């Protein structure tokens, strides 16, 4: 019986140890975290302002973990005609990557405050999401908007990208300015260990 118990304990120790060359992945990152073990941070200097002009669109591509593969596209679109206009700012994940959204039946990107944990327990989607959009019509005297990011400062978009057999959690800090303009300040993600 003691021999069986000893063999069982040895087996547990052997199989629970990290194998040489085996990668591990942090299970979260704090929004705004820019340093620490297992964190890759990119500060965009000077900050990038994305501003489509005269009924056009502009894209901003983000390779969150700098592996040469685009992970997300930030898209700004502006359409104007006499008496009518429309703007949209969206995030589009590539390669089944995901961002945090506001909840069920929503395409709105959620705003995450500084130091909030970005982890598997949030609402994730790989569909295109709305950062902020507006439309106006002078004939109908209407101005309509949707989105949670207009004019807010120090809020983050939570992200996760899938690499090999793991997940890298991250964030993008940006600010949407009324109209189709947005500013990208910085971003970060966890790294494989």
- Is pLDDT above 60 for 45? yes
Phi/psi-derived region of residue 140, left when phi > 0, alpha when psi is between -120 and 50, beta in every other case: alpha
Whole-prediction pTM: 0.85
pLDDT at 66 over 80: yes
pLDDT tens column, 25-35: 899 999 999 99
pLDDT at 177: 81
Euclidean distance between CA atoms 88 and 193, whole angstroms: 38
pLDDT recorded at residue 20:
57
Radius of gyration of the chain (CA): 21
Give DSSP secondary structure letters for 17-83.
SPPTT-----SEEETT---STTEEEEEEEEEEEE---SS-EEEEEE-TT-SSS--EEEEEEEEEETT
Element (H, E) at 12: helix 2-16
If we measure between CA atoms, which residue out of 128, 78, 136 comes closest to residue 106? 128
Residue with token string 């199989």: 15
User: Could you tell me if 184 and 155 are in contact, meaning their C-beta atoms sit under 8 angstroms apart?
Assistant: no
Give the residue-averaged pLDDT of 162-179: 90
Contact 62, 38 (CB under 8 A): no
129-137 and 84-93: which strand pairing? antiparallel
Higher pLDDT, 20 or 123: 123
């Amino acid at each position: 019986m003691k021999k069986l118990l000893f063999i069982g304990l040895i087996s547990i120790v052997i199989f629970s140890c990290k194998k040489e060359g085996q990668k591990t992945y942090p299970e979260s990152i704090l929004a705004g975290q820019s340093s620490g073990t297992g964190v890759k941070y990119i500060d965009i200097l000077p900050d990038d302002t994305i501003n489509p002009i005269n009924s056009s669109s502009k894209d901003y591509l983000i390779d969150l973990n700098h592996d040469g593969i685009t992970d997300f596209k930030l898209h700004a679109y502006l359409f104007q005609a006499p008496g009518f206009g429309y703007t949209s700012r969206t995030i589009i994940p590539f390669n089944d990557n995901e961002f945090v959204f506001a909840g069920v039946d929503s395409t709105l990107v959620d705003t995450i405050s500084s130091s909030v944990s970005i982890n598997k327990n949030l609402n994730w989607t790989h569909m295109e999401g709305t950062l902020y959009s507006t439309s106006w019509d002078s004939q109908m005297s209407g101005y309509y908007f949707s989105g949670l990011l207009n004019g807010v400062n120090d809020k983050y978009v939570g992200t996760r990208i899938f690499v090999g057999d793991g997940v890298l959690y991250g964030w993008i800090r940006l600010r949407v300015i009324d109209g189709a303009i947005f500013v990208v300040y910085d971003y970060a993600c966890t790294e494989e260990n």
